[in-house]
Amino acid sequence: MKYVGYGIQACVIDYEENGTKYIIPAPAQIAPSFWGLYGRTPDGLAEWIADYDTEEEANAAMAKHQGNL
């Protein structure tokens, strides 16, 4: 699927239950656990592509997906 845009979201694990991790956007006062890269579909939905340990890695991946590298 071709995306019409990309975005990065700082994320934290809110809680874990029965082996499932529940992820939320990182609140401003909490350091992110990881950064998620998302693609925006033509109908406006965001689809997860991958997670990265650092914001720099996520930005580099986004640039690659956008064809900027």
Contact (CB, 8 A) for 38 and 65: no
Q: What's residue 17's pLDDT?
A: 94
Q: What is the mean pLDDT of residues 11-23?
A: 92
pLDDT digits (tens, 9 = 90+) for 22-47: 999 999 899 999 999 999 999 999 99
Cα gap 11→58, rounded to integer Å: 12
For the chain, percent of residues with pLDDT exceeding 90: 87
Is this structure's pTM higher than 0.95?
no
Q: Residue 11: exposed, middle, or buried by beta-carbon count in 10 A (0-12, 13-18, 19+)?
A: middle
